[in-house]
């Protein structure tokens, strides 16, 4: 299979590319990435010399470029990760989210339609369902009620992608995953931010009461699920992907502090995020039954591996926490 991956220099995309090359999922893999603040070619050093791999530096919103790459490569499938992905940044500046997540997905769908790409997997998120009250768990038919510009832009792109199945018969599959964690995650998201701040004995900012609930999914489990959905998912269907491990944020941070042997006093309550979703919870029976996939990595094991990776890769973290990151950190945290 010849695969075109978008956003393959980011956290999840790069994990997918590393696994795809290692497991020979594709004979040729093209990675189209704009290298925003979140894109990092260091994440791909282990596979960049593979003869089947090609990197294209470009923007998915650039219709002419996207079309050219598809014409040159004629991939059997597109796996579309590229997005602006962080809720707090979507509150500070929503424009890039509408641009990349909605207009960029549109440009990609149009090119895939023109070139009759045989398969298009659109990577989405459980955040499109919004906050879910107990005792509900959202299945794939649950109403969409996104709360942030990030999740609204993802819901918009999901609907656009699905409309291409109905109207143009483009063979699209949509996946919606819960919160990912693992090595190479940019330290703006909860787990890598807390690990790296704790390692530096810096305060750990806890939004509101810290009792918001997230379901945690190890990034490689997510990538395996995407691969399973790409191969065995039905066209026009949506598949939730979760780790079946729901925890309040406080508990996650306490586990991190315990593993790093750091004091709980580093936890610092700060003003809550506007529109903060209280609870995410999804069912995953559909993908399990359709593909045989199930999450393999228990949270404690995945977290230990992740912490170990950040311990061993302090230079990577120091590099991504310089430059642009400092301005973001100041903007997002100094007034709280």
Q: Which residues are catalytic?
A: 126-127, 150
250 lies in the site for ligand TYD, by CB under 6 A: no
Place of tokens 């810290």: 210
In the complex with ligand NAD, the residue whose CB is nearer, 160 or 269, is 160
Among 3, 4, 5, 7, binds ligand NAD (CB under 6 A): 7
- 10 counts as binding ligand NAD under rule CB under 6 A: yes
Q: Which stretch binds ligand TYD (CB under 6 A): 7-15, 40-48, 128-136, 203-211?
A: 203-211
Sequence-ordered list of residues with C-beta below 8 angstroms from that of 216, at least 6 positions apart, any chain: 178, 179, 180, 181, 191, 243, 245, 246, 247, 252, 299, 302
Q: Name the one range near ligand TYD by CB under 6 A: 66-74, 102-110, 169-177, 204-212.
A: 204-212
CB of 201 to ligand NAD, least distance (A): 26
Smallest gap from Cβ 104 to ligand NAD, in A, equals 5
Cβ distance to ligand NAD smaller for residue 11 or 106: 11
3-state SS class at 33: strand
Would you say 247 and 214 are in contact if contact means Cβ atoms under 8 Å apart?
A: yes
Considering only 206, 223, 230, 303, the residue that binds ligand TYD (CB under 6 A) is 206
x/- map, 138-177, ligand TYD, by CB under 6 A: ----------------------------------------
Residues 256, 190: contact at Cβ < 8 Å? no
Using CB under 6 A as the binding rule, whether residue 230 contacts ligand TYD is answered as no
Binding status of residue 179 toward ligand TYD by CB under 6 A: yes
Q: 271: which DSSP letter?
A: P
> How many Cβ atoms sit within 10 Å of the Cβ of residue 292?
9
The residue from 82, 87, 152, 295 that contacts ligand NAD (CB under 6 A) is 82
254-280 core/surface letters (b: 16 or more CB in 10 A; e: else): bbbbebbebeeebbeebeebeeebebb
- Is residue 9 involved in binding ligand NAD (CB under 6 A)? yes
Q: Which residues are within 8 A (CB) of 28 and not within 5 positions of it... i.e. 6 or more apart?
A: 2, 3, 52, 53, 54, 73
**One symbol per residue from 89 to 108: x for binding ligand NAD (CB under 6 A), - otherwise; what is it?**
-----------x---x----
Residue 17 phi, psi (nearest 5): -60, -45
Residues in the chain: 336
**Residue 177, strand partner residues:** 125, 241
How many helices and strands (H and E) does the chain possess? 13, 12
Alpha carbons 10 and 35: distance in angstroms, whole number: 8
- Which 272-301 positions form the footprint of ligand TYD (CB under 6 A)? 273
Interface with ligand TYD (CB under 6 A): 87, 127, 179, 189-190, 193, 205-207, 212, 214, 249, 273
Interface with ligand NAD (CB under 6 A): 6-7, 9-13, 33-36, 38-39, 59-61, 81-85, 100, 104, 123, 125, 154, 177, 179-180, 186
């Amino acid at each position: 299979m010849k695969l075109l991956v978008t956003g393959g220099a980011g956290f999840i995309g790069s994990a997918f590319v590393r696994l795809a090359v290692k497991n020979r999922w594709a004979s040729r893999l093209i990675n189209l990435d704009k290298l925003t603040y979140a894109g990092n070619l260091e994440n791909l050093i282990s596979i960049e010399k593979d003869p089947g791999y090609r990197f294209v530096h470009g923007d998915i919103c650039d219709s002419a470029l996207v079309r050219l790459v598809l014409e040159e490569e004629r991939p059997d499938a597109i796996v579309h990760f590229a997005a602006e992905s962080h809720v707090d940044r979507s509150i500070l500046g929503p424009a890039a989210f509408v641009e990349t997540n909605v207009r960029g997905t549109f440009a990609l769908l149009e090119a895939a339609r023109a070139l009759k790409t045989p398969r298009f997997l659109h990577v989405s998120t459980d955040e499109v369902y919004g906050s879910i009250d107990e005792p509900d768990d959202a299945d794939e038919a649950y109403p969409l009620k996104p709360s942030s510009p990030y999740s609204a832009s993802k819901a918009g792109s999901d609907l656009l992608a699905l409309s291409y199945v109905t109207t143009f018969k483009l063979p699209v599959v949509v996946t919606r995953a819960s919160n990912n964690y693992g090595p190479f995650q940019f330290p703006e998201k909860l787990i890598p931010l807390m690990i790296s701040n704790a390692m530096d004995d810096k305060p750990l900012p806890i939004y509101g009461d810290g009792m918001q609930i997230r379901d945690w999914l190890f990034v490689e489990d997510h990538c395996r699920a995407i691969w399973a959905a790409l191969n065995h998912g039905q066209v026009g269907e949506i598949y939730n992907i979760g780790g079946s491990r729901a925890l309040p944020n406080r508990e996650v941070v306490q586990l991190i502090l315990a593993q790093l042997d750091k004091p709980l006093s580093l936890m610092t309550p700060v003003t809550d995020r506007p529109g903060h979703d209280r609870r995410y919870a999804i069912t995953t029976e559909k993908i399990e039954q359709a593909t045989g996939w199930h999450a393999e990595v228990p949270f404690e094991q995945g977290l230990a591996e992740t912490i170990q990776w950040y311990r061993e890769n302090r230079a990577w973290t120091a590099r991504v926490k310089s430059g642009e990151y400092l301005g973001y950190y100041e903007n997002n945290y100094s007034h709280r």
